[in-house]
């Protein structure tokens, strides 16, 4: 990981393993879709990945998310 994730990025990260859209995540977090998308992109960049699936996998490897069953 190239940098520490912010609180907002960690909040968005918790929803990335779900099938929820950025709009739906925004509804839960009371944040606009564009803010959620920006946070997700920042997570991808900081984890050194290019996709949502890769971000989830890397976050699990780093212990930022519990491994999926």
pLDDT in tens, 13-51: 999 999 999 999 999 999 999 999 999 999 999 999 999
Mean pLDDT to the nearest integer, 46-67 = 95
Domains detected in the chain: 7-61 (1.10.10.10)
pTM for this entry: 0.90
- The three-state (H, E, C) secondary structure of 12-65, written as one string: HHHHCCCCCCHHHHHHHHCCCHHHHHHHHHHHHHHHCCCCHHHHHHHHHHCCCC
């Amino acid at each position: 990981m190239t940098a520490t994730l912010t609180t907002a990025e960690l909040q968005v990260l918790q929803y990335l393993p779900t099938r929820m859209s950025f709009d739906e995540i925004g509804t839960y977090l009371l944040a606009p879709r564009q803010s959620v998308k920006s946070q997700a992109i920042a997570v991808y960049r900081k984890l050194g990945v290019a996709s949502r699936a890769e971000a989830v996998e890397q976050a699990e490897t780093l212990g930022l998310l519990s491994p999926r069953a």
